[in-house]
Structure 1
Amino acid sequence: MGFYLNSTSAFSLYKSEIKKPYFVDKTMLLKELFPMVAAGNSHICITRPRRFGKTMAANMIGAFFGKGNEAGNIFDSLNISEVSGYAENLNHYNMIYIDFSKNNEDSDSYQEYIDTIKELLREDLHQAYSQIVFREKGSVTEDFTRIFNQTGDRFIFVLDEWDCIFHKKYITDTDKHRYISFLNTLLKDQPYVQFTYMTGILPIAKYSSGSELNMFAEFTMVNQSMFSQYFGFTDEEVDRLFDKYLENCKQQKLLPCVTRDGLRQWYNGYQTKSGVRVYNPRSVVFALQFNNLGNYWTSAGPYDEIFYYIEHNVADVRDDLALMAAGEAVPAKVQEYASTSMNLATKDEIFSAMVVYGFLSYGDGKVSIPNRELMEKFDEMLLKEPSLGYVYRLAKESDKMLAATLAGDTKTMEKILGYVHDTEVPILSYNHETELSAIVNLVYLSARDQYRIEREEKAGIGYVDFIFYPEDKKADCMILELKVDHTPEEAIQQIKEKRYALKFKGKIGDDDPYTGRILAVGIGYDKKKKNHQCKIEVL
């Protein structure tokens, strides 16, 4: 067992995963790979945003196919054990497993980085095949070829985080080409390659020109539906995890602080090519494990990681950011080959990068902020970046707007809305409901810290424009209705007639009802006078 050849690393890591309380069995992915492995000289690359289970899948593949360990005690109890071909493939192949993110982290140049990988590979091969005479100054490819020619042995390559090198500060364009050439020479049309499974964030097509890595079939979240169910959690999987969570809380005599609906709001929203929406798996597991809904996926990087993608072309994306912060999806031409984090010039390139890195979701030709976990980071950016112009100015008024609403101070509310109008906000034409809703979202941005805000939700016998559900059920609830060329009194009347307040009345036996005031908030806008009027009543 060597450093890369038939090592114990993947086996040990996957073995620890299946012992965790919120493990999800994704072993049916292996069934999809059996025909490719059997055919030989097959290559696939699956790219997803970080924290979407790429490395766990790579460890699973390494543990299952590799000769280095007896893995039957792991897989015999998992779904794949019932599939034809299970026994024939289990621990049957020589495995080369390389995690490119864990190699020579102290290197100062590409040459030092790649030389370490080559040296470790050659050491493994020379030790495992000591009967073969290798040329002292031979290459890795030459050594693999000698092994195949003399023994007939072939290898499965599992390459995790293949694109890690592109995020190194020292990497140059020349280095990128040399790295692609290294992979090409190592893998393409080589008789010793049984199968290559490669993962990363960035699509190969961005960096591989012409025919360099065209042997790879590439599967991204946007362009291919195959393999979608193995990366991210589906609704059915989260249902099962939530049932397990409730049982665990019961056994440990803990009060459950996570709700099923909360998991959906916080972590769902990524759309696959087939239209299925999936959850961020890391965040779901952490929320259940720590008994708390919170920001786990993006905790590794602050909001400025999002701002990094837009800072060079704020003017082009500002209006769309305002709409997305309001919960709208906006049209975009997402091309994943344009997703490198460097030299992003156009709006479509910026949004393409944000989709690839998981900050936005893409479906039906539109991009959107997928869930509350990401929305919090966008909100943070809107409140802290003056370069966002009018969007920043509106967001900064949101503390005053919420305080005025709770205090029934309609004059201050009207003054703030007037200020909003007078800033000549580009999207403030009020010709479309989405534009008006975007403004309301921005002027109540800070309310998201205390409220779950739902737009156009079914309530009573109709659909209300906005409902503000307080996180603290003793706090005031708010129902907000917007009217153009109608009075706020008419908005209040609609709230009453359609009985929107029933959303807060609770159900019989509800042991945690809303007990605060229910505020009916009517906002009217007069197109001719170009002014706003507000009215608040306690229901």
Structure 2
Amino acid sequence: MNNFTVYSITDNEFDETFGFTSEEVQEMLSYYGLSSHYEEVKEWYDGYRFGNADVYCPWDVVNYCKDHRENQNAAPKNYWMNTSGNDIINHFIDNISDNGMLTKDVLERLVNGEVITQRVDEMVTYKDLYSNIDNLWSTLFMTGYLTQRGYIGNGYYSLAVPNREIRNIIIERILALFRKEVSGNGELLRSFCNAILSADAEAVERLLIEYMGKTISVRDNFARSLHENFYHGLMIGILGFRRDWEILSNRESGDGFSDILIKTKGQESRVGIVIELKYSKNEKSLDKDCQDALQQIEDRNYGQELCNQGYQKILKYGIAFYHKKCCVKVAMQSTND
């Protein structure tokens, strides 16, 4: 056994054996009565390029079928998260800087479906994983966080994030880093929460735009829900500064689920806050989408839970986002009216 040949994910030999082909996935979904789920599975778990073959992650597809045998309406999951530690992607995100070799611009391009060109060394060893940025790109490629979209030559590949699952994992890590960074800026966070409580929509909008400048922008390449989840995570991270507030996410109230419900404590306990978020298709739509968010709060009676619990004043916020811009509107309800 001392003479053997290594076939890597860039070799053409046996390239289809490293994952499931599109035909195999369609056959598996058909077997479990899930043929109508093909586009969802493709969006979440396809996108890998091994040699000359396009393949799906087999672990993901198998687990998706297992979860959907009993409940066909189950939401897709990030199964990748449970397969190993995320030290590699954590190290990758932690090395972002505004003027270094790994910039927010590069990360933003990857998350938004663009392709970047990087050198890949398939022989990198564990002890050298983090020794330089080239080794880090190689590790991300070899471990499946990135995949190839073509060989340039001289060891350089066009690299991209393969699918929505990996994109979600990266975005979750970005949001965690963002929360860590902004938590150190107590004055700005305090000003934001005070503006929320004071129904100062202009200040809330200005401070939100300032905060968004510190993180990446999720653009229009992907599903609307991805954008809304991203901005939802941003808001939860900022509002978390107020440890004395009870912040409820996607809370059932009235005739549906509000994005964010806030129950204040102490001296502010007579004020409840409802926030509905929208993602706009362009900058011109911000004002209308913001107004639609406010109207949705009214139409679906999202403030009912706060009324039932005795809050005397309820602030209703509609917030619309587009890239790193936003629009904020607020309406006030007195339960004594």
The normalised TM-score by structure 2 is 0.53
1:444-485 deviations in Å (ceiling 9; x for gaps): 262899xxxxxxxxxxxxxxxxxxxx9x9x6589451333xx
Higher strand share: 2
| 1:534 aligned residue (311, 324, 327) | 327
Pairing 1:221-240 to 2, within 5 Å after superposition = 221-222=9-10, 224-240=11-27
* RMSD between aligned residues: 4.9
- In structure 2, the residue matched to 1:351 is 137
Instruction: Give the number of equivalent residue pairs.
Output: 239
Distance 1:273 1:382 in 2: 30
Cα displacement (A) at 1:240: 1.0
Q: 1:524 to 1:387 in 2, by over 3 A?
A: closer
Alignment of 1:240-259 (within 5 A): 240-246=27-33, 259=37
Shift in CA distance, 411/524, structure 1 to aligned 2, threshold 3 Å? farther
Q: Among 482, 498, 511, which residue is 2:282 paired with?
A: 482
Partner Cα separation in structure 2 for residue 524 and residue 363 of structure 1? 26
Instruction: State yes or no: 1:287 paired with 2:72.
Output: no
Q: For 1:268, give the aligned amino acid.
A: D
| Equivalent residue runs for 1:155-304 within 5 Å | 183=2, 187=3, 196=4, 216=5, 218-222=6-10, 224-246=11-33, 259-274=37-52, 276-291=53-68, 293-304=76-87
Structure 2 match to 1:368: 160
Shift of 1:388: 8.6
State the Cα distance separating 1:339 from its structure 2 match: 3.1
What corresponds to 1:327 in structure 2? 112
- Tell me: CA distance 1:226–1:296, structure 2 relative to 1, closer, same or farther (3 Å): same
Distance 1:336 1:243 in 2: 39
Q: Percent identity?
A: 18
Structure 1 residue 488 displacement after superposition? 4.6
- 1:281 Cα deviation from its structure 2 partner: 0.3
Give, in whole Å, the separation in 1 of the partners of 2:220 and 2:77: 31
Per the TM alignment, residue 271 of structure 1 is displaced from its structure 2 partner at its CA by: 2.0
Q: Which residue pairs with 1:415 in the alignment?
A: 207
| Higher Rg of the two aligned structures | 1
Cα deviation for residue 363 of structure 1 reads 1.4
- Pairwise CA distance, 1:243: 0.8
Q: Please give the alpha-carbon distance, in whole angstroms, between the structure 2 residues aligned to 1:378 and 1:478.
A: 22
Distance of 2:282 and 2:114 partners within structure 1: 21
- Consecutive unaligned residues of structure 1, counting only runs of 5 or more, are 1-156, 158-182, 188-195, 197-215, 248-255, 435-439, 450-469, 493-518, 526-531
Flag the 1:370–1:433 CA change in 2: closer, same or farther, 3 A.
closer
Distance in 2, matches of 1:347 and 1:416, equals: 32
Distance 1:443 1:263, change over 3 A: closer
Contact 2:45 2:165 in 1 (8 A): yes
**How far off its partner does 1:354 sit?**
0.8
C-alpha distance in structure 1 between counterparts of 2:86 and 2:77, whole Å: 15
Kindly state the Cα deviation for residue 284 of structure 1 after the two structures are TM-superposed: 0.5
Q: Which residue type is aligned with residue 481 of structure 1?
A: K
Contact 1:361 1:370 in 2 (8 A): yes
Q: 1:249-306, CA deviations, whole angstroms, 9 ceiling, x for partnerless residues?
A: xxxxxxx9x93232122211212342x4321001111110132532323303243342
Task: State the shift of 1:387 in Å.
Answer: 11
Structural mapping, 1:447-526, within 5 Å = 478-483=278-283, 488=286, 521=320, 523=322
C-alpha displacement at 1:359, in angstroms? Answer: 1.6
- Retained in 1: the 8 A contact 2:48–2:56? yes
Distance change in 2, residues 1:331/1:524 (3 Å): closer
Q: Note the C-alpha offset of 1:419.
A: 3.6
Tell me how far 1:316 sits from its aligned partner.
2.9
SS of the aligned residue for 2:126 comes to coil
Shift of 1:221: 2.2
Which residue, 425, 444, 467 being the options, matches 2:231?
A: 444
Q: List gaps (5 residues or longer) in structure 2.
A: 69-73, 151-156, 222-226, 237-249, 259-276, 290-317, 330-337
Whether the aligned pair in 2 keeps the contact of 1:480 and 1:522 (CA below 8 Å) is yes
2:125 alignment partner in structure 1: 340
8 Å Cα contact 2:320-2:328 kept in structure 1: yes
Q: Aligned partners of 2:61 and 2:145: how far apart in 1? A: 17
Q: In the alignment, residue 42 of structure 2 is paired with which amino acid? A: R
SS for the counterpart of 1:534 is: strand
Preserved CA contact (<8 Å) 2:320 2:326: no
Equivalent residues of 2:93, 2:174 under 8 A apart = no
How big is each residue's C-alpha offset from its partner over 1:423-459, in whole Å with a ceiling of 9 and x where there is no partner? 5x7x89xxx999xxxxx7896262899xxxxxxxxxx
